[in-house]
Protein backbone atom coordinates (compact mmCIF):
# COMPACT_ATOMS: atom_id res chain seq x y z
CA UNK A 1 0.00 0.00 0.00
CA UNK A 2 0.92 3.65 0.19
CA UNK A 3 0.71 4.61 -3.49
CA UNK A 4 -0.97 7.76 -4.72
CA UNK A 5 -3.55 5.76 -6.69
CA UNK A 6 -4.52 3.57 -3.73
CA UNK A 7 -7.85 4.26 -2.08
CA UNK A 8 -10.57 3.04 0.23
CA UNK A 9 -14.21 4.03 -0.04
CA UNK A 10 -17.17 4.51 2.22
CA UNK A 11 -20.79 4.57 1.04
CA UNK A 12 -21.22 7.29 -1.58
CA UNK A 13 -17.48 7.91 -1.99
CA UNK A 14 -15.58 7.55 -5.22
CA UNK A 15 -13.62 4.38 -5.85
CA UNK A 16 -11.79 2.98 -8.86
CA UNK A 17 -10.98 -0.66 -9.48
CA UNK A 18 -8.57 -2.19 -11.95
CA UNK A 19 -10.04 -5.30 -13.57
CA UNK A 20 -7.91 -7.54 -15.78
CA UNK A 21 -9.13 -10.11 -18.30
CA UNK A 22 -7.53 -12.56 -20.69
CA UNK A 23 -9.77 -11.44 -23.53
CA UNK A 24 -8.59 -8.76 -25.92
CA UNK A 25 -10.43 -5.50 -26.67
CA UNK A 26 -12.17 -5.57 -30.02
CA UNK A 27 -13.08 -9.26 -29.84
CA UNK A 28 -16.68 -10.35 -29.17
CA UNK A 29 -15.81 -12.09 -25.95
CA UNK A 30 -14.46 -8.83 -24.60
CA UNK A 31 -16.92 -6.37 -26.06
CA UNK A 32 -20.07 -8.41 -25.33
CA UNK A 33 -19.71 -8.35 -21.54
CA UNK A 34 -16.88 -6.29 -20.03
CA UNK A 35 -17.84 -2.73 -21.04
CA UNK A 36 -21.43 -3.59 -20.06
CA UNK A 37 -20.28 -4.81 -16.65
CA UNK A 38 -18.29 -1.61 -15.98
CA UNK A 39 -21.20 0.50 -17.16
CA UNK A 40 -23.73 -1.26 -14.92
CA UNK A 41 -21.52 -0.89 -11.85
CA UNK A 42 -21.09 2.78 -12.57
CA UNK A 43 -24.82 3.31 -13.13
CA UNK A 44 -25.82 1.56 -9.92
CA UNK A 45 -23.49 3.73 -7.86
CA UNK A 46 -24.29 7.09 -9.46
CA UNK A 47 -20.96 7.06 -11.20
CA UNK A 48 -19.03 6.77 -7.97
CA UNK A 49 -17.62 3.30 -8.57
CA UNK A 50 -15.43 3.11 -11.67
CA UNK A 51 -14.14 -0.17 -13.12
CA UNK A 52 -11.09 0.27 -15.35
CA UNK A 53 -10.75 -2.57 -17.84
CA UNK A 54 -7.38 -4.03 -18.83
CA UNK A 55 -7.36 -6.36 -21.83
CA UNK A 56 -5.26 -9.52 -22.06
CA UNK A 57 -1.55 -8.88 -21.55
CA UNK A 58 -1.68 -5.10 -21.24
CA UNK A 59 -0.81 -4.96 -17.53
CA UNK A 60 0.98 -8.27 -17.06
CA UNK A 61 1.08 -11.61 -18.85
CA UNK A 62 -2.23 -13.50 -18.60
CA UNK A 63 -0.51 -16.32 -16.71
CA UNK A 64 0.21 -13.90 -13.84
CA UNK A 65 -3.39 -12.84 -13.28
CA UNK A 66 -4.10 -15.19 -10.36
CA UNK A 67 -1.10 -13.98 -8.36
CA UNK A 68 -1.82 -10.37 -9.28
CA UNK A 69 -5.35 -10.58 -7.90
CA UNK A 70 -4.05 -12.41 -4.84
CA UNK A 71 -1.48 -9.67 -4.18
CA UNK A 72 -3.83 -6.84 -5.06
CA UNK A 73 -1.89 -5.52 -8.08
CA UNK A 74 -5.35 -5.50 -9.64
CA UNK A 75 -8.56 -5.52 -7.63
CA UNK A 76 -10.37 -8.03 -9.78
CA UNK A 77 -10.20 -10.20 -12.85
CA UNK A 78 -12.69 -11.78 -15.22
CA UNK A 79 -10.70 -14.72 -16.49
CA UNK A 80 -10.87 -18.35 -17.60
CA UNK A 81 -10.64 -20.54 -14.53
CA UNK A 82 -9.12 -23.48 -16.44
CA UNK A 83 -5.73 -21.70 -16.50
CA UNK A 84 -5.42 -22.22 -12.77
CA UNK A 85 -5.09 -25.95 -13.06
CA UNK A 86 -1.50 -24.75 -12.62
CA UNK A 87 -2.46 -23.92 -9.02
CA UNK A 88 -4.86 -26.77 -8.22
CA UNK A 89 -6.09 -29.69 -10.34
CA UNK A 90 -9.73 -28.93 -9.55
CA UNK A 91 -9.66 -25.86 -11.81
CA UNK A 92 -9.21 -28.20 -14.77
CA UNK A 93 -12.83 -29.21 -14.26
CA UNK A 94 -14.23 -25.84 -15.34
CA UNK A 95 -14.82 -27.68 -18.61
CA UNK A 96 -15.97 -31.25 -18.25
CA UNK A 97 -15.17 -34.04 -20.68
CA UNK A 98 -18.22 -35.70 -22.17
CA UNK A 99 -20.50 -33.03 -20.77
CA UNK A 100 -24.09 -33.53 -22.04
CA UNK A 101 -25.37 -30.16 -20.81
CA UNK A 102 -26.70 -27.67 -23.32
CA UNK A 103 -27.59 -23.99 -23.13
CA UNK A 104 -27.04 -21.28 -20.57
CA UNK A 105 -29.75 -22.32 -18.05
CA UNK A 106 -28.23 -25.73 -17.46
CA UNK A 107 -24.76 -24.25 -17.39
CA UNK A 108 -25.56 -21.66 -14.74
CA UNK A 109 -27.43 -24.21 -12.66
CA UNK A 110 -24.26 -26.29 -12.55
CA UNK A 111 -22.11 -23.21 -11.89
CA UNK A 112 -24.24 -22.17 -8.91
CA UNK A 113 -23.99 -25.68 -7.48
CA UNK A 114 -20.26 -26.27 -7.99
CA UNK A 115 -18.65 -22.80 -7.90
CA UNK A 116 -18.44 -22.82 -4.09
CA UNK A 117 -15.83 -25.58 -4.37
CA UNK A 118 -13.67 -23.36 -6.59
CA UNK A 119 -14.35 -20.58 -4.09
CA UNK A 120 -12.77 -22.55 -1.27
CA UNK A 121 -9.56 -23.03 -3.23
CA UNK A 122 -9.44 -19.38 -4.31
CA UNK A 123 -9.99 -18.32 -0.71
CA UNK A 124 -6.72 -19.97 0.30
CA UNK A 125 -4.92 -17.35 -1.82
CA UNK A 126 -6.92 -14.41 -0.50
CA UNK A 127 -9.22 -14.32 -3.52
CA UNK A 128 -12.98 -13.85 -3.33
CA UNK A 129 -14.72 -15.88 -6.04
CA UNK A 130 -17.98 -14.50 -7.43
CA UNK A 131 -18.59 -17.48 -9.69
CA UNK A 132 -19.31 -17.55 -13.40
CA UNK A 133 -19.02 -14.16 -15.08
CA UNK A 134 -20.47 -15.28 -18.38
CA UNK A 135 -21.53 -18.14 -20.60
CA UNK A 136 -19.44 -19.65 -23.39
CA UNK A 137 -20.99 -21.95 -26.01
CA UNK A 138 -19.32 -25.29 -26.67
CA UNK A 139 -15.91 -25.25 -28.30
CA UNK A 140 -15.75 -26.49 -31.86
CA UNK A 141 -13.51 -29.07 -33.45
CA UNK A 142 -11.84 -27.79 -36.61
CA UNK A 143 -10.34 -30.34 -38.91
CA UNK A 144 -8.61 -30.52 -42.24
CA UNK A 145 -9.28 -34.23 -42.44
CA UNK A 146 -12.74 -35.64 -43.00
CA UNK A 147 -13.92 -37.33 -39.80
CA UNK A 148 -16.94 -39.61 -39.80
CA UNK A 149 -16.10 -41.92 -36.92
CA UNK A 150 -13.82 -42.09 -33.88
CA UNK A 151 -11.56 -44.34 -35.94
CA UNK A 152 -10.69 -41.34 -38.13
CA UNK A 153 -9.02 -39.51 -35.25
CA UNK A 154 -6.22 -42.07 -35.25
CA UNK A 155 -2.91 -40.61 -36.38
CA UNK A 156 -4.10 -37.01 -36.45
CA UNK A 157 -2.00 -34.19 -35.01
CA UNK A 158 -4.45 -32.18 -32.94
CA UNK A 159 -3.88 -28.90 -31.18
CA UNK A 160 -5.59 -29.35 -27.83
CA UNK A 161 -4.81 -28.47 -24.25
CA UNK A 162 -5.53 -29.83 -20.79
CA UNK A 163 -8.23 -32.46 -20.51
CA UNK A 164 -8.86 -32.26 -24.25
CA UNK A 165 -5.27 -33.23 -25.00
CA UNK A 166 -5.50 -36.36 -22.88
CA UNK A 167 -8.88 -37.15 -24.38
CA UNK A 168 -7.71 -37.03 -28.01
CA UNK A 169 -4.65 -39.07 -27.09
CA UNK A 170 -6.98 -41.85 -25.93
CA UNK A 171 -8.68 -41.70 -29.35
CA UNK A 172 -5.31 -42.51 -30.92
CA UNK A 173 -4.57 -38.96 -32.04
CA UNK A 174 -1.48 -37.03 -31.03
CA UNK A 175 -2.09 -33.87 -29.06
CA UNK A 176 0.21 -31.03 -30.04
CA UNK A 177 1.10 -27.81 -28.26
CA UNK A 178 1.12 -24.77 -30.54
CA UNK A 179 1.34 -21.18 -29.28
CA UNK A 180 -1.99 -19.36 -29.86
CA UNK A 181 -0.72 -16.85 -32.43
CA UNK A 182 0.88 -19.68 -34.43
CA UNK A 183 -2.34 -21.68 -34.72
CA UNK A 184 -3.49 -19.91 -37.89
CA UNK A 185 -0.33 -20.79 -39.81
CA UNK A 186 -0.29 -24.26 -38.26
CA UNK A 187 -3.78 -25.02 -39.61
CA UNK A 188 -3.05 -23.36 -42.93
CA UNK A 189 0.16 -25.27 -43.58
CA UNK A 190 -0.86 -28.59 -42.06
CA UNK A 191 1.47 -28.52 -39.05
CA UNK A 192 -1.63 -29.75 -37.22
CA UNK A 193 -4.59 -31.57 -38.81
CA UNK A 194 -7.14 -30.28 -36.37
CA UNK A 195 -7.74 -28.15 -33.33
CA UNK A 196 -10.22 -27.95 -30.53
CA UNK A 197 -10.54 -24.31 -29.71
CA UNK A 198 -13.10 -21.57 -28.94
CA UNK A 199 -16.53 -21.25 -30.53
CA UNK A 200 -17.60 -20.36 -34.08
CA UNK A 201 -17.63 -16.63 -33.45
CA UNK A 202 -14.25 -16.21 -31.78
CA UNK A 203 -12.50 -18.56 -34.16
CA UNK A 204 -13.92 -16.71 -37.16
CA UNK A 205 -12.59 -13.47 -35.69
CA UNK A 206 -9.17 -15.11 -35.56
CA UNK A 207 -9.56 -16.01 -39.24
CA UNK A 208 -9.52 -19.73 -38.53
CA UNK A 209 -12.51 -20.24 -40.85
CA UNK A 210 -10.12 -19.30 -43.67
CA UNK A 211 -7.94 -22.32 -43.00
CA UNK A 212 -10.45 -25.00 -41.95
CA UNK A 213 -12.09 -27.59 -44.23
CA UNK A 214 -14.39 -29.37 -41.75
CA UNK A 215 -16.08 -28.61 -38.47
CA UNK A 216 -16.99 -31.74 -36.51
CA UNK A 217 -20.17 -31.58 -34.46
CA UNK A 218 -20.93 -32.02 -31.66
CA UNK A 219 -17.88 -31.04 -29.62
CA UNK A 220 -16.87 -34.42 -28.26
CA UNK A 221 -14.99 -33.60 -25.18
CA UNK A 222 -16.75 -30.69 -23.57
CA UNK A 223 -20.02 -28.80 -23.35
CA UNK A 224 -20.84 -25.21 -22.44
CA UNK A 225 -18.62 -23.53 -19.92
CA UNK A 226 -17.74 -20.14 -18.46
CA UNK A 227 -15.35 -18.14 -20.56
CA UNK A 228 -14.63 -16.08 -17.45
CA UNK A 229 -15.08 -16.35 -13.73
CA UNK A 230 -15.13 -13.21 -11.62
CA UNK A 231 -12.38 -13.21 -9.01
CA UNK A 232 -11.68 -10.37 -6.58
CA UNK A 233 -8.94 -9.52 -4.16
CA UNK A 234 -10.43 -10.32 -0.74
CA UNK A 235 -9.26 -7.08 0.90
CA UNK A 236 -10.59 -5.00 -1.97
CA UNK A 237 -13.91 -6.79 -1.69
CA UNK A 238 -14.14 -6.33 2.08
CA UNK A 239 -13.30 -2.64 1.73
CA UNK A 240 -16.37 -2.05 -0.46
CA UNK A 241 -19.54 -0.67 1.06
CA UNK A 242 -22.40 -3.15 0.87
CA UNK A 243 -24.30 -1.30 -1.85
CA UNK A 244 -21.19 -1.33 -4.06
CA UNK A 245 -20.82 -5.07 -3.50
CA UNK A 246 -24.43 -5.52 -4.56
CA UNK A 247 -23.74 -3.39 -7.65
CA UNK A 248 -20.93 -5.76 -8.63
CA UNK A 249 -23.13 -8.82 -8.21
CA UNK A 250 -25.99 -7.26 -10.19
CA UNK A 251 -23.63 -6.20 -12.97
CA UNK A 252 -22.21 -9.74 -13.10
CA UNK A 253 -25.74 -11.04 -13.59
CA UNK A 254 -26.22 -8.60 -16.47
CA UNK A 255 -23.02 -9.92 -18.06
CA UNK A 256 -24.31 -13.49 -17.66
CA UNK A 257 -27.54 -12.51 -19.32
CA UNK A 258 -25.89 -10.69 -22.22
CA UNK A 259 -23.56 -13.59 -22.91
CA UNK A 260 -26.36 -16.14 -22.89
CA UNK A 261 -28.67 -14.13 -25.17
CA UNK A 262 -26.93 -11.73 -27.56
CA UNK A 263 -23.57 -13.49 -27.62
CA UNK A 264 -25.04 -16.97 -27.98
CA UNK A 265 -27.12 -15.72 -30.91
CA UNK A 266 -24.12 -14.08 -32.58
CA UNK A 267 -22.29 -17.37 -32.22
CA UNK A 268 -25.10 -19.22 -33.99
CA UNK A 269 -25.11 -16.63 -36.75
CA UNK A 270 -21.37 -17.01 -37.13
CA UNK A 271 -21.81 -20.57 -38.43
CA UNK A 272 -22.70 -19.01 -41.79
CA UNK A 273 -19.25 -17.39 -42.00
CA UNK A 274 -17.75 -20.87 -41.92
CA UNK A 275 -20.05 -22.20 -44.59
CA UNK A 276 -19.25 -19.16 -46.73
CA UNK A 277 -15.53 -19.89 -46.46
CA UNK A 278 -16.24 -23.41 -47.71
CA UNK A 279 -16.12 -25.36 -44.46
CA UNK A 280 -18.24 -28.51 -44.35
CA UNK A 281 -20.01 -29.14 -41.08
CA UNK A 282 -20.09 -32.84 -40.24
CA UNK A 283 -22.52 -34.29 -37.74
CA UNK A 284 -21.01 -37.34 -36.05
CA UNK A 285 -23.31 -40.41 -35.71
CA UNK A 286 -24.93 -40.75 -32.27
CA UNK A 287 -23.23 -44.07 -31.58
CA UNK A 288 -19.80 -42.52 -32.08
CA UNK A 289 -20.63 -39.63 -29.79
CA UNK A 290 -21.84 -42.09 -27.17
CA UNK A 291 -18.63 -44.08 -27.35
CA UNK A 292 -16.51 -40.94 -27.06
CA UNK A 293 -18.47 -39.85 -24.00
CA UNK A 294 -17.92 -43.19 -22.29
CA UNK A 295 -14.16 -42.70 -22.73
CA UNK A 296 -14.48 -39.20 -21.29
CA UNK A 297 -16.41 -40.43 -18.25
CA UNK A 298 -13.75 -43.00 -17.51
CA UNK A 299 -11.18 -40.24 -17.55
CA UNK A 300 -13.34 -38.06 -15.32
CA UNK A 301 -13.94 -40.87 -12.84
CA UNK A 302 -10.20 -41.35 -12.52
CA UNK A 303 -9.51 -37.62 -12.21
CA UNK A 304 -11.76 -37.46 -9.14
CA UNK A 305 -8.94 -39.14 -7.21
CA UNK A 306 -6.55 -36.19 -7.74
CA UNK A 307 -7.40 -34.51 -4.43
CA UNK A 308 -10.16 -33.67 -1.98
CA UNK A 309 -11.55 -30.90 -4.19
CA UNK A 310 -11.68 -32.89 -7.43
CA UNK A 311 -13.46 -35.68 -5.53
CA UNK A 312 -16.09 -33.25 -4.23
CA UNK A 313 -16.42 -31.55 -7.58
CA UNK A 314 -17.06 -34.74 -9.52
CA UNK A 315 -19.51 -35.94 -6.85
CA UNK A 316 -21.33 -32.62 -7.05
CA UNK A 317 -21.38 -32.81 -10.83
CA UNK A 318 -22.99 -36.26 -10.72
CA UNK A 319 -25.73 -34.79 -8.54
CA UNK A 320 -26.25 -31.90 -10.98
CA UNK A 321 -26.57 -34.39 -13.83
CA UNK A 322 -29.25 -36.29 -11.90
CA UNK A 323 -31.11 -33.07 -11.08
CA UNK A 324 -31.18 -32.21 -14.78
CA UNK A 325 -32.33 -35.68 -15.79
CA UNK A 326 -29.06 -37.00 -17.26
CA UNK A 327 -29.25 -40.21 -15.26
CA UNK A 328 -27.44 -42.47 -17.69
CA UNK A 329 -24.45 -40.08 -17.78
CA UNK A 330 -24.47 -39.78 -13.99
CA UNK A 331 -24.45 -43.57 -13.66
CA UNK A 332 -21.56 -43.90 -16.08
CA UNK A 333 -19.37 -41.44 -14.14
CA UNK A 334 -20.41 -42.99 -10.85
CA UNK A 335 -19.29 -46.43 -11.94
CA UNK A 336 -16.05 -45.09 -13.45
CA UNK A 337 -15.32 -43.41 -10.14
CA UNK A 338 -15.62 -46.81 -8.43
Partner 1 sequence: MLQRIERGATWIGAILMPVLAVVVLYNVLARALFSRAPSWPFEVSIFIFGILALLAGGQVLRDQGHVAVDILPRRAGPRLRWVLHIISMVVIIIVCVFVVYDGSLVALESTRVRERSIFQTTFNPEIWWFRWMIPIGAAIILLEALRQLFAARRIDGVPDFDDEEIEL
Partner 2 sequence: MSMAEIIPLGMFIVLFLLLGLGIPVAFSLFFVAISFALLAWGTGGTSIVVSSMFGAMNNFTLVAIPLFILMSVLLEKSKIVEELFDSLYSVSWRLRGGLAMAGIAVGAVLGAISGVVAAGVIGLALIALPQMLKYRYDRPLSLGVVMAGGTLGQLIPPSLNMVVYGAMMGVSVAALFAGGLAAGVALALMYIIYIVVVGLLRPNALPKPTGDEAKPTVNFTRVLRGLILPAILIAVVLGSILSGAATPTEGAGIGVVGTVLLALVARRMTWTVAKDSVWSSVKTSSMIVWILAGAAGFSGVFAGVGGVTLVTKAAEAAPGGRWGVLAFAIVFIFFLGMFLETMALIMLAAPIVTPVVLAQGFDGLWWALLFMVVLQTAFLTPPFGFAIFYLKSVAPKAVRIEHIYRATLPFIGLQLLFVLLAIFFPWLLTWLPNLTQ
Q: Residues 327, 330, 336, 338: is their CA dihedral positive or negative?
A: negative
Inter-helix orientation angle 286-303/162-170, to 10°: 120
How far apart are alpha carbons 136 and 116 in whole angstroms?
20
Restricting to residues 181-210, name those near partner 1 by CB under 8 A: 191
The answer to whether 144 contacts partner 1 (rule: CB under 8 A) is no
What is the contact mask toward partner 2 in residues 22 to 41, using x (rule: CB under 8 A)?
--xxxx--------------
Question: Smallest distance, Å, CB 177 to partner 2?
Answer: 8
82 binds partner 1 (CB under 8 A): yes
Q: Does 286 interact with partner 2 (rule: CB under 8 A)?
A: no
Show the binding pattern over residues 195-214: x = contacts partner 2 (CB under 8 A), - = does not: ----------xxx--xx---
301 binds partner 1 (CB under 8 A): no
Cα 165 from Cα 159, distance rounded (Å):
8
- Please select the residue that binds partner 2; options are 21, 32, 33, 68, rule is CB under 8 A: 68
x-marked contacts with partner 2 along 70-89 as a string, rule CB under 8 A: -xxx----------------
3-state secondary structure of 232: strand
- The DSSP bridge partners found for residue 21 are 78
Residue from 151, 182, 250, 290 in contact with partner 2 (CB under 8 A): 182
Residues contacting residue 255 through CB under 8 Å, at least 6 positions apart: 33, 34, 36, 37, 40, 78, 133, 134
Name which of residues 261 to 280 contact partner 2 (CB under 8 A): none
Q: What angle do CA 141, 145, 151 make, to 5 degrees?
A: 85
Site string for partner 1, 87-116 (x = CB under 8 A): xx---x------------------------
Contact yes or no for 101/132 (Cβ under 8 A): no
- How many chain residues are in contact with partner 2, going by CB under 8 A? 44
DSSP per-residue codes, 126-195? TEEEEEE---BPPPEEEESS--SSGGGGTT-EEE--HHHHHHHHHTT-EEE---GGGHHHHHHHTSSSEE
Binding site for partner 1 (CB under 8 A): 63, 67, 82-83, 85-88, 92, 155-157, 161-162, 165-166, 169, 174-177, 191
Binding site for partner 2 (CB under 8 A): 1-6, 18, 24-27, 52, 54-61, 63-64, 67-68, 71-73, 177-179, 181-182, 184-186, 188-191, 205-207, 210-211
Amino acid sequence: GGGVLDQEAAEGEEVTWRLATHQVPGTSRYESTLPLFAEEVSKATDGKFTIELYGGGTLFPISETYDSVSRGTVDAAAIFTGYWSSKDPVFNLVSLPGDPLTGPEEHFQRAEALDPIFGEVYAKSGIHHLGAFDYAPSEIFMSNRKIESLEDFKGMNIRATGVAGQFYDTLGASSVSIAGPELYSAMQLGTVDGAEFNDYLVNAEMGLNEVTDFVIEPALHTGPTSDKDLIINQEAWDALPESYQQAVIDARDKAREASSTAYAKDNEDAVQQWVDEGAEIIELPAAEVEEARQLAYEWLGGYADENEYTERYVTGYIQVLRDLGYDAEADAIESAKG
